[in-house]
Amino acid sequence: MRKFFRQFHARSEAIRQHRWLKPFAGWLHHPNLWHFHRRSVSGGVAVGLLCGLVPGPFQVISAVLLAVLLRVNLPLAAIVTAYTNPFTIVPLYLLAYELGRLVLGASNGMSVEPPPFPEMQWDNWAGALWEWLTALGQPLLLGLPLLALSLSIAGYLLVRVVWRIAVVLRWNARKRHRTKKSPRQ
């Protein structure tokens, strides 16, 4: 896995030398921002999952800022924000709304139906989506941060556990390989 990510390491120097990013070069030199190790990768995934639910184009910007601030893997944090896309954003926001309703105790059975996407035209989709989001109100405002935090924590823990399992499997394979090679005495 590291070999796959090593090909991107050379690009980090090009990013630091970019003329628009030169003023921030001091912040971009921390090794954790570019290296792939357990803490940096799990933190990058957590930051990406947290910032993925930030509305609009601010996802990647907030992920980059948090990655620099927390000194976790910057490219991974920016890439992981892509889990919210035109296909997943509506189900994620519905999940956040239901989570907010559950926490608020708003079980009056009233729910807001999503806009009819197949019948929508290209010229009115943004307005219909905005009307739908404003109708969701308080449960959505509470549910979004709760969902983002829970996804972030779950992603962090999952990466740590999977990384640990992979390391233990490699150790055991190395140990078996050594015992096969060495002659018994």
Structural domain that includes position 136: 2-181
Residue range 169-176: mean pLDDT, rounded: 92
pTM of the model: 0.71
Cβ pair 46, 72 in contact under 8 A: yes
Residue 12: predicted pLDDT: 58
Q: How many Å apart are CA 101 and CA 96, to the nearest integer?
A: 9
Backbone angles phi, psi at 86, to 5 degrees: -60, -25
Top pLDDT among 34 and 107 is at: 34
Residue range 15-43: mean pLDDT, rounded: 72
Span of 12-21, 74-83, 99-108 with lowest mean pLDDT: 12-21
- CA-wise closest residue to 44 among 19, 75, 84: 75
pLDDT at 7 over 70: no
How many other C-beta atoms lie within 10 A of the C-beta of residue 152? 21
pLDDT at 165 over 80: yes
- Residue carrying the six token digits 């003023």: 23
Provide the number of structural domains found in the chain.
1
